[in-house]
Amino acid sequence: MHRFAVLLVLAAGVFETRFASAHHSFAAVFDGEQALTLTGEVVGIEWTNPHFHFSIDVKDEAGSVTRWRFEGYPPNMLVRQGWRRDVTLTPGATVTVEGWAAREEPNLGAARWVTFADGRKLAAGPPAGTGGR
Amino acid sequence: MTNARTSLAAAALLCIVVAPLAAQPSAERPPPRTPDGKVSLDGIWVATGAIMLFEGQEAFAAARAADEAAGRPPGNTGETPPYKPEAEARRQYYLERQGLDDPMARCLLTGVPRINFRPLPFEIVQLPDRVIMLYEIHHAFRIIPTDGRPHPEDAEPSYLGESVGRWEGDTLVVDVRHFNDDTWLTGVGTIHTEDLRVTERYTRDSYDTIRYEVTMEDPNVLTRPWTIRETFRLRPDERIREYECIESNEDLLRFERLLEGHATREAP
């Protein structure tokens, strides 16, 4: 147990500078323990700094729809990952998002990967644990 | 005929000079030099940690393996900063609050050395009398005189401090003072006071890498000088893009809400 705790502390230290976030500590808003994968229809895209956001409508088996909003890289990093504004992600498209849920805010997530209908998968945001503890 | 012969000779000479350079893997290429004989730091660089975001885990692991083979120290050893007990208590307080108090999240200029570890590239422009650092993050810049002038007399405390550089052999040594206390040194809660002094050492030890060593001194909060290291990697195909932080920074409001919801103890 003690060794595990030490490992955790070490991991936190390593994440801190190596996988540093550009803007804020991941843990300030999101929970790296709450991984999620959601598929839905894109209903909004905000190509803004210091994060881009997009929303998808996720339908459950009973047919009820929940709108999820995701946060990701700023435009400078998205472009480096192969994204283009108004081209890569478009309203009406169906995408699968892998990421993590916010600790407190409902239906908000940090997007790590987005998979498009043609199978292409692009990084949308940093890994969990970045920018701090 | 003479012209043709000269051209042929020039071409042959060019082959002799250029071919070995081209054939040599860049890791073994020596660092370039400026006309005045100094090693040139010119180029667009990124901290090794950022390779993870730019190219993924495999590339990051390869970069670290290359560093190890070349004897370059890792960027972070997991070492606990040598804080005095009161300052360490304050750091722990900020850690417990998951970094909600991070000045960077409020889009304030990131200080030195933290700005060098951000996962966004920066460009170094080396001139005979000064070195200019152009950061993608916040579109920030530093102008570092290397002409022997002292620190300015009228310097006010600032986020990036006042930098004065000098060359020690092939190493650029930068003495940074006159900081305000509104930045963190590296990670969450790494506080400092206005008495902070930072000494940075930039050594381009190969064509592709700069060894970076930075020592932070602040007797108000640290028990001893604290030295950390990082390797900056050349990104020849990169360009400095715009990163503007305020535009849609929802985190200001979000953090206020979260802070209200956090009935945490008083700051020590």
| pLDDT 10s digits, B138-185 | 999 999 999 999 999 999 999 999 999 999 999 999 999 999 999 999
- Residues B50-70 have a mean pLDDT of 92
| pLDDT 10s digits, A14-67 | 344 334 566 777 888 899 999 999 999 999 999 999 999 999 999 999 999 999
Q: Is there a domain that residue B248 lies in?
A: no
Cβ distance B118 to A25 less than 8 Å, yes or no, reads: no
For B98, nearest residue in chain A (alpha carbons): A28
Helices B57-69 & B48-55 angle (0-180, nearest 10):
150
Cβ distance B76 to A17 less than 8 Å, yes or no, reads: yes
- Residues B38-60 have a mean pLDDT of 93
Q: Between A29 and B76, whose confidence is greater?
A: A29
Q: Is there a domain that residue B217 lies in?
A: yes
- What is the Cα Rg of chain B in Å? 22
Residue A81 to chain B, least CA–CA distance (Å): 7
Tokens coding B63: 């970069």
Q: Which of residues 193-222 of B touch A (CB under 8 A)?
A: none
Q: How many CB pairs under 8 A join A and B?
A: 128
- d(C-alpha B101, C-alpha B122), whole Å: 26
pLDDT at B263: 56
- d(C-alpha B152, C-alpha B133), whole Å: 19
Q: Is there a domain that residue B160 lies in?
A: yes
| pLDDT 10s digits, B227-236 | 999 999 999 9
Domains held by chain B: number: 1
- d(C-alpha B132, C-alpha A8), whole Å: 38
Please classify residue A16 by burial: count the beta carbons closer than 10 Å to its beta carbon, then call 0-12 exposed, 13-18 middle and 19+ buried.
buried
Q: Between B123 and B50, whose confidence is greater?
A: B123
Cβ distance B249 to A50 less than 8 Å, yes or no, reads: yes
pTM, two decimals, is: 0.85
- Model confidence at B76, pLDDT cuts 50, 70, 90, reads confident
Per the omega criterion (within 30 degrees of 0), is the bond before A50 cis? Answer: yes
- d(C-alpha B37, C-alpha B16), whole Å: 23
pLDDT at B64: 93
Mean of the per-residue pLDDT values of chain B: 88
Mean of the per-residue pLDDT values of chain A: 84
- Model confidence at A4, pLDDT cuts 50, 70, 90, reads very low
Q: Between B20 and B253, whose confidence is greater?
A: B253
Q: Is there a domain that residue B265 lies in?
A: no
Q: Is there a domain that residue B86 lies in?
A: yes
Q: Is there a domain that residue B259 lies in?
A: no
Q: Between B248 and A24, whose confidence is greater?
A: B248
For A48, nearest residue in chain B (alpha carbons): B248
Q: Is there a domain that residue B2 lies in?
A: no
Cβ distance B53 to A105 less than 8 Å, yes or no, reads: no
- Residues B64-87 have a mean pLDDT of 90
Q: Are B123 and B137 in contact (CB under 8 A)?
A: no
- Residues A66-78 have a mean pLDDT of 96
- d(C-alpha B46, C-alpha B212), whole Å: 11
- d(C-alpha B112, C-alpha B160), whole Å: 6
- Model confidence at A8, pLDDT cuts 50, 70, 90, reads very low
Q: Is there a domain that residue B249 lies in?
A: no
Choose the closest CB to A28 out of B80, B100, B187.
Answer: B100
pLDDT at A102: 94
User: Which domain covers residue B54, as residue numbers?
Assistant: 34-237
- A10 vs B contacts (CB less than 8 Å): 78
Cβ distance A123 to B53 less than 8 Å, yes or no, reads: yes
- Model confidence at B22, pLDDT cuts 50, 70, 90, reads very low
Q: Between A112 and B98, whose confidence is greater?
A: A112
Q: Between B247 and B140, whose confidence is greater?
A: B140
